[in-house]
Each structure stands twice: as C-alpha cells, then as structure tokens.
C-alpha cells in the first residue's frame, strides 16, 4: 500500500472447510494480506457436505489462517433458516470494508447480499459457473444478473466463466479472472515429481487409465466404461481404475462385472489425497468424462503430477489446461466413440514420459495458490478504490 493509504479490511465467507484447495488459497490470501497491512478475517459456514464424506475427511490442519466455524457437520444438515440468519447477521455485524460471499445460488447468500448492501459494504462473490453447466432458464438468468450486478467484484475461474458473466451482462471491469489452483502438500516440488514419475511409468508399462471423482450421473461414467470396452479391442493390456464413491457405484459395478472379474477394471472407493496423488504418478492419463463440470480440479492435480489428461469439452478448464497432444485431449462427452479414440490417441501421444511430464508441469506451473490468492486480494483492494 502507498504511504497515507488506509488499508481495507476484508472478510471472506466460505461454505465448507472440506475444500482442500480453498484452504490452500485462503492460507496464502491471509499471508499476503497481512504482509500488505490488510485486516483479513475468514468465516467457514460448515465443516463438510454429505456427498463429500465418501471422498475424504475434513483436515483442519491445512487451514493455516484464523477462521470462525459456524456449524459443525454437514452444510445441508443445518436448517435453511439458521444459515440465513447466520449469514445475514454476520453481514450486519461485520466491520469489514469488503465482504466476500461464498456463492449466489442459495437463500442465505441472497440474505447476506441484501444486508451487506444495506450496510453500505463492498461485496465480492465467487462464480464457478459456465454456460455448459446446466440448461439456462430465463428466471435463473435474471436472478443471476441481479445478484452479480449488485456486487463490486466477481471472481471467476478462467475463460469460460468470464464469458458466462459477460453473457449475463456483467461489466467487464467487475470481473476478475483468477486461476484455479489445486491443493498440493507442502512437500510438493516440481523437480521431485518429475523424477518420481519417470521412475513409475516405464515405456513398457501397459496403459492405465484413471478416473477420480464422485460416482454420480453428471460424471458420465457409463460412457467411460463403454468407451473403455472399445479401447480394449485395440489395447488388450489396458486397465481402468476408478477412485471415488457415490450413488452410482453399485449400478456401475453390476454392469461391468465381467471387466472386474477379468482384472481390467477396479473400483478403488473413496481414498485420501495421498493415495490419489500416488495414482496420478502411476497412470498413463486421467480421464474426466463429465457432462457438467464448472472447472475440474482433478485436471490440475493430474498435470501437477506430470499425468496428461483426456477431458470432456464441457469442463471449464479445457481452454487453459488441455493443450491438444501436449497435455491432453478434449472430446464431446456424449460421443462414446470419440472418447475411446482419444483414450487410444493418448497412449500413442504420451509414450515419451519425460517430455509429457515436462509439458504438464510447465502448463500447470502458473496455476498456484499464491497466484489465485493474489488475484482475490487485489480485486478486493481495488473495489474499495472505486
């Protein structure tokens, strides 16, 4: 801050502590804010969410910043009226110059926006939506336009999210296009990852395709398994490993019993982040076939471990992270044949492990928690000058 300039105070609200990547970003945001004389405060509304429990536990140790936790347990287990009261009263009592609201799609966020504006606060909000997410309706689009136009700053994730906000009529001056950064352990270094992946993926290894995420309808896993059956005709030694849990697991296991019995497909269940990171190092490529995916943080995680990707073109990360035949391939998630072709192409294109590891680490290199935090900090500070 320049001499004579009063440092603003910023209050950041977030829905659940479970999000490891947000813990990473908020820890950096706190550190950078304090270094610049900014008064930073953080409020976590709840610890986790029901559909996250099968993926991993909430790790409070990675939140390296002071925060208040309003409700223990799952977010959706808290009655709506209690969430609305907490968010509205929090905005009323806040002494911050800028309040960063956790979202825009729930009643409590609207209540918080209304009270914050009545108090004359500057308001920022995170937006991870794109036009590919879900079918647009006139009423929802109108509501979003109103919400976003009431905010001084909207933090969006990448090109597609920014285009969506522009389509909704948001002034480009209010849009801050921040990078999406995955959680990585403090011990992570690009150099050690490069060495380790070269050890684990010899050129003679049979192809291993990896999926990481929830086992739910929007993830498009039946088409992935169907595509894999086609891949086996060209690459009979290939294997598919699925990490995660969710409502579709029993159905998927039942319909792919022959692949499981033949040791071609493994359902590994929900696992901790260390196990998943190890899988990235071992796999030929990650496959993310989602029908709807605002960004796709598993793509960041894979690339950060030198693992190339085959990604649905509905995922928000595609323009920034999926470079054709360099870091991966994109495909139409409704075209099973296109997916199988890209999986086969990935095996051919990424045989040079050293080259592809270098390319993946280079492309993902700028997508760090520090850079993500810096864009949030500067966006909030700039809003106080308007």
* Residue 163: φ, ψ to 5°: -65, -35
How many other C-beta atoms lie within 10 A of the C-beta of residue 138? 7
Closest CA to 126 of 149, 156, 148: 156
* Residue 164 and residue 207 in one domain: no
For range 9-30, the mean pLDDT: 93
Query: Helix, strand, coil % (nearest 5) of the chain?
Result: 45, 20, 35
Q: What residue numbers bound the domain in which 353 lies? A: 190-364
For range 266-278, the mean pLDDT: 93
* Residue 91 and residue 230 in one domain: no
* Residue 231 and residue 164 in one domain: no
pLDDT for the residue numbered 3? 42
Q: What span, in angstroms and rounded, lies between the C-alpha atoms of 324 and 126? A: 29
For range 291-296, the mean pLDDT: 93
Does a structural domain hold residue 296? yes
Does a structural domain hold residue 2? no
Per residue in 240-266, pLDDT (tens digit) is 999 999 999 999 999 999 999 999 999
* Residue 260 and residue 349 in one domain: yes
Residue 60 — very low, low, confident or very high, per pLDDT cuts 50/70/90?
confident
* Residue 341 and residue 198 in one domain: yes
* Residue 111: φ, ψ to 5°: -60, -40
Counting the structural domains of the chain, the total is 2
Does a structural domain hold residue 3? no
Does a structural domain hold residue 333? yes
* Residue 150 and residue 227 in one domain: no
pLDDT at 168 over 60: yes
* Residue 161 and residue 209 in one domain: no
User: Has this prediction a pTM greater than 0.85?
Assistant: yes
Per residue in 300-349, pLDDT (tens digit) is 999 999 999 999 999 999 999 999 999 999 999 999 999 999 999 999 99
Closest CA to 307 of 363, 356, 243: 356
Q: What span, in angstroms and rounded, lies between the C-alpha atoms of 253 and 127? A: 35
* Residue 133 and residue 274 in one domain: no
Does a structural domain hold residue 302? yes
Whether 271 and 243 have beta carbons less than 8 Å apart is answered as yes
Whether 222 and 252 have beta carbons less than 8 Å apart is answered as yes
* Residue 16 and residue 104 in one domain: yes
* Residue 30 and residue 140 in one domain: yes
Residue 135 — very low, low, confident or very high, per pLDDT cuts 50/70/90?
low
- CATH code for the domain of 220: 3.40.50.2000
Average pLDDT, the chain: 92
Cross-strand partners of 175 = 154
* Residue 348 and residue 377 in one domain: no
Whether 280 and 353 have beta carbons less than 8 Å apart is answered as no
Query: Percent of the chain at pLDDT above 90?
Result: 79
Q: What span, in angstroms and rounded, lies between the C-alpha atoms of 179 and 172? A: 17
* Residue 48 and residue 172 in one domain: yes
pLDDT at 280 over 60: yes
Does a structural domain hold residue 1? no
Please give the torsion angle defined by the CA atoms of residues 7, 95, 152 and 180, in that order, rounded to the nearest 10 degrees. Answer: 80
């Amino acid at each position: 801050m320049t001499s004579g300039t009063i440092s603003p105070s910023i209050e950041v609200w977030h829905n659940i502590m479970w999000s490891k990547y947000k813990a990473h970003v908020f820890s950096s945001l706190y550190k950078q804010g304090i270094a610049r004389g900014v008064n930073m405060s953080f409020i976590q509304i709840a610890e986790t969410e029901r559909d996250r429990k099968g993926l991993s536990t909430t790790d409070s140790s990675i939140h390296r910043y002071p925060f208040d936790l309003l409700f223990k347990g799952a977010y959706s287990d808290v009655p709506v009226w209690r969430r609305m009261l907490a968010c509205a009263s929090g905005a009323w009592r806040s002494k911050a110059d800028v309040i960063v609201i956790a979202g825009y799609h729930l009643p409590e966020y609207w209540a918080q926006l209304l009270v914050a504006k009545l108090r004359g606060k500057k308001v920022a909000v995170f937006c991870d939506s794109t036009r590919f997410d879900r079918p647009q309706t006139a009423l929802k689009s109108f509501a979003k336009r109103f919400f976003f136009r009431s905010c001084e700053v909207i933090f969006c994730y990448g090109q597609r999210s920014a285009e969506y906000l522009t389509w909704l009529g948001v002034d480009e001056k209010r849009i801050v296009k921040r990078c999406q950064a995955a959680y990585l352990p403090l011990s992570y270094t690009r150099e050690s990852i490069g060495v380790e992946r070269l050890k684990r993926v010899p050129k003679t290894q049979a192809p291993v395709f990896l999926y990481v995420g929830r086992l739910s309808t929007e993830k498009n896993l039946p088409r992935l398994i169907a595509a894999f059956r086609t891949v086996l005709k060209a690459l009979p030694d290939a294997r598919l490993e699925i990490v995660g849990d969710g409502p579709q697991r029993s159905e998927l296991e039942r319909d792919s019993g022959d692949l499981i019995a033949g040791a071609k497909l493994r359902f590994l269940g929900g696992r901790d982040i260390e196990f998943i990171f190890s899988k990235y190092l071992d796999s030929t490529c990650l496959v993310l076939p989602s029908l709807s995916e605002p960004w796709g943080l598993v793509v960041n995680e894979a690339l950060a471990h030198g693992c190339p990707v085959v990604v649905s073109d509905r995922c928000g990360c595609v323009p920034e992270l999926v470079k054709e035949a360099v870091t991966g391939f994109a495909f139409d998630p409704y075209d099973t044949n296109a997916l199988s072709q890209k999986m086969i192409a990935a095996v051919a294109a990424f045989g040079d492990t050293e080259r592809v590891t270098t390319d993946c680490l280079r492309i993902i290199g700028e997508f760090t928690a520090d850079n993500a935090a810096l864009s949030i900090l500067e966006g909030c500070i700039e809003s106080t000058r308007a």
